[in-house]
Amino acid sequence: MDLQQVKQRFGIIGNSAKLNYALQTAMRVAPTELTVYIQGESGSGKESFSKIIHHLSPRKHGPFIAINCGALPEGTINSELFGHDKGAFTGAVDNRKGYFEAANGGTVFLDEVGELPLETQSRLLRVLENGEFIRVGSSKVQKTDVRIITATNRDLIIEVERNKFREDLYYRLSTLPIAVPPLRERPGDVVLLFQKFAFDASEKYRQEAFELTLDGEKILQNYRWPGNIRQLKNIAEQIAILEQGLRIDAEIIRKYLPARAENNLPAIFKETSKESEVSERDIFYKVLIDLKKDVSELRKVVFGMVESNEVSEEFVESNRTSMPRMLSSGNKGAETNNYSPVQTTHQDDVYDHVEVEDQDAVGENEVLSLEAKEEELIRKALLKNNGRRKRAAQELGISERTLYRKIKQYEIEN
């Protein structure tokens, strides 16, 4: 049986190189008794490969049992796989065969084998090595002749490093690995699969057939398909049933795709609900930082002059109101920065003869200074960008709406 015959028999659609290589590997290993490890993402069609291997093997007339290990309750998983004797636990009212005993002479497919608990992994290793198992609640060793095929969407090497999976079992299972490619690595097959699923749904529910446009094909090929073939089939059936038009384009398909990912590129999302609030805060911080730098520089200069007795009487007399405030602030800053300024007699004279102005008046001046600095920044940004408000707003880090309001507030003409 050649590749095309296998595809036709098992309903495999696609011609990508990775898919063909995986199928050819499955066909070559099928006649052997090797344990096969199928790796691929959820929904990529791993179970189809296990069926191909079974039906092309000498065991094709024996039973084939597919088991989702992740769906088995941890408390009864050993009973499900290996069986139990009567009275082994509460509710065990009779002897029961497990899957490995029931599949004697055939194939057992363990999907999501990485979900098995460590105790069950030890039992599975014994089946792989010797074909032996023990029922739960029994001490009698029994034999079984099964071929085991496993699959997982996890990286078992990482699970081994995390002590979640037995290393010896991993090497025993991965005798011959087969990598099933995800749908995003088969962009040429996506359109064929979509048309097949949509046609089947139209036939089943007696809907009119439709035509897929070029832009519709493009959006299907560019989407990442995290759910792989299962997700593609669901969307194709939804469109076939719900859409009444004869042409399916990108706009229609986009309605059925999750909003966050329509292509292979990572999406960037920006919070816009608080844009105005954030912009106001940003410009306020810019103004405040600039003022703080100016005041700090002035404090350093004046405080240095006072320390070195370079301040003249004329300077003190002409700056009675501001000198004490700068000196006191300078002393606080010096303490913060581990300085040890020496107080001189001249400094004491300054403090003795200068009266401090009312705090509220100075506070009002500071607010006015902030507004003046804000207006100055806006004027400079507009001048630099030749009156282009959009670019000026981008440089200031604010929205155009905020900039328009500030221009109106300060009566700035472009």
Task: Kindly state whether residues 174 and 27 are assigned to the same domain.
Answer: yes
pLDDT-wise least confident of 27-31, 83-87, 222-226, 397-401: 397-401
Inside any domain, residue 389: yes
Confidence of residue 286 (pLDDT cuts 50, 70, 90): low
Q: What is the C-alpha separation between 218 and 280, in angstroms, rounded? A: 42
Residue type, 332: K
Residue-level pLDDT at 1: 79
Task: Kindly state whether residues 228 and 131 are assigned to the same domain.
Answer: no
Task: Kindly state whether residues 242 and 143 are assigned to the same domain.
Answer: no
Tens digit of each residue's pLDDT (9 = 90 or more) over 356-402: 444 444 444 444 567 778 888 888 888 888 888 888 888 888 888 78
Residue-level pLDDT at 403: 83
**261, burial (CB in 10 Å: exposed 0-12, middle 13-18, buried 19+):** middle
Residue 314 has which token pair? 């004329």
Q: What is the CATH number of the domain that holds 129?
A: 3.40.50.300
Alpha-carbon distance values, 108 to 239, 304, 313 (Å): 36, 87, 101
Q: What is the model's pTM? A: 0.61
Residue-level pLDDT at 289: 55
> Would the pLDDT of 324 be above 80?
no
Residue-level pLDDT at 370: 73
Q: Which residues span the domain enclosing 218?
A: 184-256
For the chain, percent of residues with pLDDT exceeding 70: 73
Closest CA to 148 of 116, 119, 180: 116
Highest mean pLDDT among 46-60, 67-81, 299-313: 46-60
User: Which residue, 135, 163, 181, sits at the end of a domain?
Assistant: 181
Inside any domain, residue 270: no
Task: Kindly state whether residues 294 and 202 are assigned to the same domain.
Answer: no
Residue-level pLDDT at 106: 96
User: Which residue, 221, 256, 291, sits at the end of a domain?
Assistant: 256
Inside any domain, residue 267: no
How many beta carbons lie within 10 A of that of residue 145, not counting itself?
13
Q: What is the CATH number of the domain that holds 203?
A: 1.10.8.60
Inside any domain, residue 213: yes
Inside any domain, residue 235: yes
Tens digit of each residue's pLDDT (9 = 90 or more) over 159-187: 999 999 999 999 999 889 999 999 999 99
Task: Kindly state whether residues 176 and 188 are assigned to the same domain.
Answer: no
Inside any domain, residue 88: yes
Residue-level pLDDT at 319: 55
Tens digit of each residue's pLDDT (9 = 90 or more) over 93-139: 888 899 999 999 999 999 999 999 999 999 999 999 999 999 999 88
3-state secondary structure of 229: helix
Task: Kindly state whether residues 197 and 208 are assigned to the same domain.
Answer: yes
Q: Are 146 and 107 in contact (CB under 8 A)?
A: yes
Inside any domain, residue 356: yes
Residue type, 333: G
Task: Kindly state whether residues 19 and 158 are assigned to the same domain.
Answer: yes
Q: Are 89 and 134 in contact (CB under 8 A)?
A: no
Task: Kindly state whether residues 120 and 177 are assigned to the same domain.
Answer: yes
Task: Kindly state whether residues 171 and 188 are assigned to the same domain.
Answer: no
Task: Kindly state whether residues 135 and 37 are assigned to the same domain.
Answer: yes
Closest CA to 196 of 248, 232, 147: 232
> Would the pLDDT of 339 be above 70?
no
How many beta carbons lie within 10 A of that of residue 402, not counting itself?
20
Residue 259 has which token pair? 């909003």
DSSP letter for each residue of 298-352: HHHHHHHHHHTT---HHHHHHTTTTHHHHHHHHHHHHHHTT--PPP-HHHHHHHH
Task: Kindly state whether residues 59 and 86 are assigned to the same domain.
Answer: yes
Task: Kindly state whether residues 313 and 345 are assigned to the same domain.
Answer: yes
Count of domains observed in the chain: 3
Alpha-carbon distance values, 239 to 34, 58, 191, 208, 230 (Å): 42, 42, 14, 11, 15
Inside any domain, residue 91: yes
For the chain, percent of residues with pLDDT exceeding 90: 51
Q: Are 151 and 111 in contact (CB under 8 A)?
A: yes
Residue-level pLDDT at 410: 80
Tens digit of each residue's pLDDT (9 = 90 or more) over 224-257: 999 999 999 999 999 999 988 788 999 999 999 9
User: Which residue, 229, 256, 283, sits at the end of a domain?
Assistant: 256
Q: What is the C-alpha separation between 104 and 121, in angstroms, rounded? A: 19
